[in-house]
Chain A
C-alpha cells in the first residue's frame, strides 16, 4: 500500500480526497506541512497548487518520496532540474497533465492508437475559462498535441492578447508537425464567472473524433432563455492520473507522464510565448526553438 501525502491548497486536494476511497493500492492523507515528509508516514507526495512546486519537489525527492507534481509548472529548465533531482534520488517523478486522463480524451487516444482514425492530421483544441490564464496554462494542451502526434512540432506560431496588467487574456497557438500534421490551440479567460468550455477534435487520415462540451449540455428551464448545463466527467481524470502514479510506483516503471514530457510541453510553451512577442513563427532547430 502506497501512502500518499497531498500538499497544497488548490482543487487538487479536494479532488484527491474525493477519489481516495476508489484508489487501488494507495491511501491518502492531506498535509499542510512539508516537514511531515521527514518521517516515514508517507511514500509519495502529490504536490498541488498554492505551494512552491520547486522547493517541495526537491524536499520530497531528497527524502526518497515519489512525486506527482501538478501544473502549473515554472519553466522547461526548472522541469529538467526537477527531473534530474528525482532521478538522482531514485524516485518516480510524474507531472500532472490531467487532461490526458479525461475519459473523453482517453477514448479518443485509444481510438487513435488502435488505428481507427489513421494518421493524425489536425488537432483543434478550445479551452475557455473564467479563471486567469497563467503563462504556462497552454502547456496542458500542448502536451496533448505532442502526445497525439508523438513528436515535437517543428513550427510554433502564436498570437496573444494581454490585459492591462500584462497578464494573458487569450493565447492562440498554431503548431506544425512533421509530415503535414497541424494543431490549433486557443486558451481564453473571457468566460463569465464559474464557466468553462473544452473542445477537442482530431482529424485523422481515415476517421475523426470530436470531444466537445457543446455536445454534452443539458437544458435547464427557469424562465427566459434556457440555461445549458454541462454534463461533467466527474473526478475520473484525477482518479486515473493518481492511479497511474501509484501503479508506476508499484510496478517500478516510468509513469505515463514523465518529466521529459513536461519539459517538451514547457519548451513549446516558451516558444509560443516567444513567437507571440516577435510576431514570427518559432522553428525547431536541434532541441531549441528560434524565431
Chain B
C-alpha cells in the first residue's frame, strides 16, 4: 500500500465527527484524493450520521468497518478526525496497515497512547502528520526571519493564543438543582457553530484541545524540547468547563533545552473579547534583536451597513496552510524525511501539555517526561 514518488495517494477518512477541516485540507492538494469514509460499526448513531453526511457531501462511500475499507479501497493515507480519545488508536491501526497518517489535534490526552503511536509509525516506516498551523503566512515569515539569523540567537519566545469564541452557557449560569453540563452532549451541540474541538467523552481543557498549535509554533521556531513547565489554569468563562473541571484559560512558563525560555497564554475567551478570531501573537527575543508577529496577517478589513455582529471585520487572506501541509507530507513520503510535525514532535507536545495540566493542578514546577 506504500505510495511511490509522485503517485496520487488515495485517502481513507477514518471517522470525521468534528468540523471537517482536516479531510478538506487533505483534499486541497491534488496529490491526495479522498476515496472512502470508514469507522467502526460499534460507534454511536451520531458518529455514523456525521460520517455518512461527510461521505455524501464528497460523493464517496461510507464503510462501517475500518480494516475492510483499508483493504478494499487500495488506500495509502489514513485521515483521522474522530473524537480525541480515539485519535491514537485509529492512527495506530492505520499505521499498522501500512498507511501514512494525517491526524487531527490533539494527538491524544494520554502520553502512553502517543508512545504507542510513535512505535507504530516507526515500526511500519510510514509518515505521520499532526495537523497544525505552522504554514500560515505570518509563521512562515517568522520562521524565515529566525533561520536567517535576523534576531541572532533566540533565547525567549512567547505565544498568545486566544480564541474569541463562546462555548455554551457562561460560567455562573447554572441554577441551583441544575445537573452539571455533560461534556459530550455539549460538544455534540457545539458542532453547529464549529466550536466542538474537544468532542469526545473525555472532558478536555483548552490546553489539551488547542495547545498543539502554539506549542508547534514554539517547537518549529526554537527547534528544541521543553524540559520544565510551571502553569496556572482555571475555568474562567464557560460553565461546561467549570462543571467538568477543565481549563478555558491557562498560562504556562516553558523552560527549554539550550537555555531558551518561553511562555504560553491560551484561552477560549468569549466572542466579545476580540473583533475577530482572537489575538494570536508570537513575541521573540534574540541576541541581536526581537520580533513581534501577528498570526492574523495578512488580512483585509470589511465593514458595511447591516453587518452581522458575529461577522469578523478582519479577514485573513493569502492562507495556503492546507496545501502546504499536504505538500510537506508528500515531500516526506517521496524523500524519506520527517514531516513538519511528526509523531515524535506530537508526542513531545502532548507531554508538555500533560505536564502543564499537572502543574496547573499541583502549583508545582513539573518536568516534561
Contacts and interface: CB of A to CB of B under 8 A. Distances in A.
14 contacts: A121-B234, A121-B267, A157-B230, A170-B261, A180-B233, A182-B234, A184-B251, A192-B289, A197-B292, A201-B160, A201-B265, A203-B249, A208-B274, A208-B279
Top-6 shortest CB links A-B: A180-B234, A208-B273, A182-B232, A121-B236, A157-B230, A182-B251
Nearest to A170: B156
A172 B253 contact: yes
**How large, as a class, is the contact surface on chain B?**
35 or more
A131 to B, nearest CB: 14
Interface stretch (B80-88, B196-204, B280-288): B280-288
Contacts of B233: 180
A229 interface: no
Interface string A181-197: 11110101011100001
B259 interface: yes
A19 interface: no
A157 B158 contact: no
Interface string B268-308: 01101110000101010111111010100000000000000
Nearest to B264: A184
Interface of A: 119, 121-122, 124, 126, 128, 155, 157, 159, 161, 170, 172, 174, 176, 179-184, 186, 188, 190-192, 197, 199, 201, 203-208, 210, 214, 279-281, 283
Nearest to B293: A214
A174 B263 contact: yes
B290 A128 contact: yes
B263 A170 contact: no
A182 B365 CA distance: 16
Interface in B120-170: 155-156, 158, 160, 162, 164, 170
A216 to B, nearest CB: 12
A183 B170 CA distance: 22
A119 B155 CA distance: 33
B161 to A, nearest CB: 12
A172 B256 CA distance: 14
Given A124-B160, A155-B363, A172-B263, A208 B269 contact: yes
Contacts of B183: none
A204 B253 CA distance: 20
A205 B39 CA distance: 39
Contacts of B236: 119, 121-122, 180, 203, 205
B171 interface: yes
Contacts of B365: 157, 279-281
A97 B255 CA distance: 30
Contact of A176 (B158, B160, B292, B363): B363
Interface in B226-264: 230, 232-237, 249-251, 253, 255, 259, 261, 263
A183 B249 CA distance: 12
Interface of B: 155-156, 158, 160, 162, 164, 170-171, 230, 232-237, 249-251, 253, 255, 259, 261, 263, 265, 267, 269-270, 272-274, 279, 281, 283, 285-290, 292, 294, 363-365
Given A159-B253, A281-B363, A191 B263 contact: no
A210 B237 CA distance: 18
Nearest to A215: B294
Contacts of A208: 162, 164, 269, 273-274, 279
Chain A facing B: main interface SS = strand
B270 A206 contact: yes
Given A180-B236, A279-B365, A174 B261 contact: no
Given A184-B158, A208-B162, A214-B292, 6 more contacts: A122-B265, A128-B285, A161-B155, A176-B232, A186-B158, A280-B365
Chain B facing A: main interface SS = strand
A223 B237 CA distance: 47
Nearest to B236: A121
A190 B285 contact: yes
A122 B251 contact: yes
Contact of B162 (A119, A170, A203, A280): A203
A192 B152 CA distance: 12
B284 to A, nearest CB: 10
A18 B234 CA distance: 45
A191 B253 contact: no
B286 A174 contact: no
Given A124-B265, A128-B285, A184-B265, A170 B155 contact: yes
Contacts of A199: 283, 292
A197 B234 CA distance: 29
Contacts of A176: 232, 363
A281 B365 CA distance: 7
Contacts of A280: 365
B158 A126 contact: yes
A131 B364 CA distance: 33
B360 to A, nearest CB: 10
Contacts of B237: 121, 205
Contacts of B283: 126, 199
Nearest to A159: B261
A190 B153 CA distance: 11
A203 B247 CA distance: 14
Nearest to A173: B253
A206 B172 CA distance: 12
Residue among A161, A170, A201, A203 having the largest count of chain B Cβ atoms under 10 Å: A203
Residue among B158, B234, B263, B285 having the largest count of chain A Cβ atoms under 10 Å: B285
Nearest to B248: A121
Nearest to B261: A159
A208 B273 CA distance: 5
B154 to A, nearest CB: 10
A210 to B, nearest CB: 6
